[in-house]
Amino acid sequence: QVQLVESGGGLVQAGGSLRLSCAASGSIFSFDNMGWYRQAPGKQRELVATLTKRGYTNYADSVKGRFTISRDNAKNTLYLQMNSLKPEDTGTYYCYAVRTLVDYWGQGTQVTVSS
């Protein structure tokens, strides 16, 4: 059973940075796609960034130029570097991974950006 564990969330002032990590229980190289979603209170979960097995990335328009998704295969870890954070980035961030049409999710990590 695949397990994904996020870390790195916290409270930060607007303009600050955070780096989220998502540690997988097995090799992340086997995943077809990995990424991050977020959910703000009272809002639907939205896609933040994705990274395919071949290294292609995709970002939500709201985070382009500020967030960077990456992975370290040796550490079986996915990252999300978040710079120039805004209050509207506040929410619970979830890591996900897809392998042969089956998706896996982490438990989420809270990010709060104060103005």
The tens-digit pLDDT sequence of the chain (115 residues) is 889 999 999 999 999 999 999 999 988 888 999 999 999 989 999 999 999 999 999 999 999 999 999 999 999 999 999 999 999 999 999 999 999 989 999 999 999 999 9
One-letter amino acid of 8? G
